Amino acid sequence: MAAYLQWRRFVFFDRETVKEPAGPDAGKPFALPPGVTVCDSGRGSLVFGDMEGQIWFLSHSLQLSSFQAYKLRVTHLYQLKQHSILASVGEDEEGINPLVKVWNLEKRDGGNPLCTRIFPAIPGNKPTVVTCLTVHENLNFMAIGFADGSVVLIKGDITRDRHSKTQILHEGNYPVTGLAFRQSGKMTHLFVVTTENIQSYMLSVKDYPRLELDTHGCGLRCSTLSDPSQDLQFIVAGNECVYLYQPDERGPCFAFEGQKLLVHWYRGYLIIVSKDRKSSPKSEFAGSDPQNSDKQMLNVYDLCNKFIAYSSVFDDVVDVLAEWGSLYVLTRDGKIHVLQEKDTQTKLEDENGLKNRVIRVGTRRSQLARIQTDSVVEMLRKRYLNLHFEIVAMSTTGDKILDTALSKIGEKSLFTKELENALERNEVDLVVHSLKDLPTSLPPGFTIGAICKRENPHDAVVFHPKNYGKTLNSLPEKSVIGTSSLRRAAQLKRRFPHLEFRDIRGNLNTRLKKLDEKEDFSAIILAAAGLRRMGWENRIGQILNPEDCLYAVGQGALAVEVRARDEEILDMVSALHDGETVLCCIAERAFMRHLEGGCSVPVAVSTMLKDSQLYLTGAVYSLDGSDTLKDTMQTGVNYPQQNEEGPNDDTQYVGITAKKIPRHAQEAAENLGVELASLLLSKGAKRILNVARQLNDAR
């Protein structure tokens, strides 16, 4: 959870009141049509519905036009962004079922947009009220939410009566406050939020399976769908926190306090309008002063990079619309305020903004990767107050292949290639990795510029709820343990022969969900560091000590990869180096590289630095753990730092550049890894690894 009060604030938008462009009122504030009840935007217009049943269009040149859509009032509008189609809900007669009307704005009927379809909004004339409306951009779904907790789904061509079917998709006890369609590839989901819960429906599958995502909801107009930069997540703004959801799970949340009134998404920014407590501090005690009671705060958040791009107080906001590359804030007094985002150069020159360059940080999209990257960026921000950091998230090959064990894929750099490509193209300035994901030989032109202080490197056991309180040793015969790591499986088969081991893939959230919701696994093995960083330390049922299971090379450490010749960035990130972790990881990586190991063979290590002595234990295993070689060596690393500038000042040790750590200590650590690997190779390690590699390829 992130508290926004700790986020830096910038003024990345300019605010102006929209003025009349010409005529006798030129220069005066532009006035909205009176009685506006609902708003939307798209296709080059701001769209309004009013209490008289009219729908209005405001062009970029501030030309107003309207037509009579209903005899009484307009209550809901939905303007599609990719089609000149407008859906509306309104009333033609008092007390009669409101009507949904679909308008083709490119075709005319007597001068007005052509109404292509009309149908009653409420099925069966139930005594309820329409609360929200949404339409899929493909024009094949429409959803209508109601105050009685039901949702009606129209499937098929929503512009024509004969080519669609209507059904009640959802029934509940709480008013529906928000709806959103999410399209990802061929998968279509519908998010449904009420005042008390959040659910998703998979519309691409027969019978539309439903999944409850949470047991709290939000008020009307307090949910929205992000764009692909935030993974098309459904955003729900409660009064204490803002929550983000994927169709099958809850993502991160942010502690944005205050009563939320309105939520929108705009070009990577989250827009929140909430009651402003600071603008009227006397209002709680001084009665209902109308000049103070309707003050509202508009905040523009960058969730990805954790800063507030803009904040301002407005009087009684009606809505916030996005069109023509700007934000338009409509207020109850009939005014329109435009928020225009500043260009990058202006942001850099703004005395309230950035003094120096913007540092772009690459990372994977997974929640754990984001948490790890956020922690590294936070350390950099504390050291470099005048720099601004932007996080660029992307999917890697390893993230996309979820149905095959990593050891079977046979490709190096599974979780790093796409990030390194972005680094090479100067799209990012540095990349944050789990060190264990980085090959021991990096591509030319790259180096590891920082290795942060190591988290607990050991493996942890997470048990199925029915096995709480047990250990691996006390699990029943034939209990199934989930792990996709050959290293873990080989060691644990040897140590716990009464257990069975099966592959399990997916990010931490997915693997824990597979464990908890099914009976396939009695327990799964995960890195303790990842669980702790996710805040799930309470799920750890057992830490595996080195006698049970040696850990992976680099496990628990975070690495910052940079361009080797980018001296500014290299110097900047080098402040994050943790000397003890660097020496341990140099020894581990040198051991792995000399063995020519990787994730396709079982290689394991354990290191310790004590009294200036570096101890390295390394081992290789057959796939079933029956054949193993294991040994320990040590070396002294107590060397003073010297002024070592000169022709070798960019020396790398197994891909790591650490100028501020004594070179002789790094050399000793690297030699330790090579010598231990040579010892095991002399005892037959190559044969064990070759057989393991062949058997793994044949599986």
Q: Is 437 a catalytic residue?
A: yes
> Token match 């007669």: residue?
93
DSSP 8-state assignment for residue 43 = T
**Type of residue at 504:** I
State both tokens at 335: 């005014």
d(CA 77, CA 132): 9
What integer pLDDT is reported at residue 408 of this predicted model? 43
The catalytically annotated residue of 50, 302, 374, 437 is 437
Spell out the long-range contacts of 125-130 with Cβ–Cβ below 8 A and sequence spacing 24 or more.
125/97, 126/150, 130/75, 130/76, 130/89, 130/98
| Strand arrangement of the beta sheet that strand 269-275 belongs to | 8-9, 307-315, 295-302, 269-275, 260-266
The region, left, alpha or beta by phi > 0 then psi within -120 to 50, assigned to residue 178 is beta
- Listed residue (125, 109, 166, 123) closest to 142, CA to CA: 166
Spell out the long-range contacts of 74-78 with Cβ–Cβ below 8 A and sequence spacing 24 or more.
74/37, 74/38, 74/49, 74/50, 75/37, 75/38, 75/49, 75/130, 76/38, 76/49, 76/130, 76/132, 76/133, 77/38, 77/39, 77/40, 77/47, 77/48, 77/49, 77/133, 78/40, 78/133, 78/134, 78/135
How many distinct helices (H) and strands (E) make up the chain?
A: 13, 43
What integer pLDDT is reported at residue 285 of this predicted model? 26
**Three-state secondary structure call for residue 155:** strand
State both tokens at 183: 């399209």
Handedness of CA 621, 626, 629, 631 (dihedral sign): positive
What integer pLDDT is reported at residue 305 of this predicted model? 75
- Listed residue (373, 383, 375) closest to 431, CA to CA: 373
What integer pLDDT is reported at residue 566 of this predicted model? 84
What integer pLDDT is reported at residue 357 of this predicted model? 63
DSSP 8-state assignment for residue 455 = P
SS3 assignment for 493-518: HHHCCCCEEECCCCCHHHHHHHHHHC
What integer pLDDT is reported at residue 205 of this predicted model? 92
* pTM, rounded to two decimals: 0.62
Q: Which residues of the chain have pLDDT under 50?
A: 1-5, 278-293, 351-354, 356, 398-412, 644-648
Q: Cβ of 398: how many Cβ atoms within 10 Å?
A: 21
**Three-state secondary structure call for residue 108:** strand
d(CA 590, CA 185): 42
Q: Half-sphere exposure (CA, 13 Å, Cβ side) for 410? A: 7
What integer pLDDT is reported at residue 659 of this predicted model? 87
State both tokens at 403: 């149905």
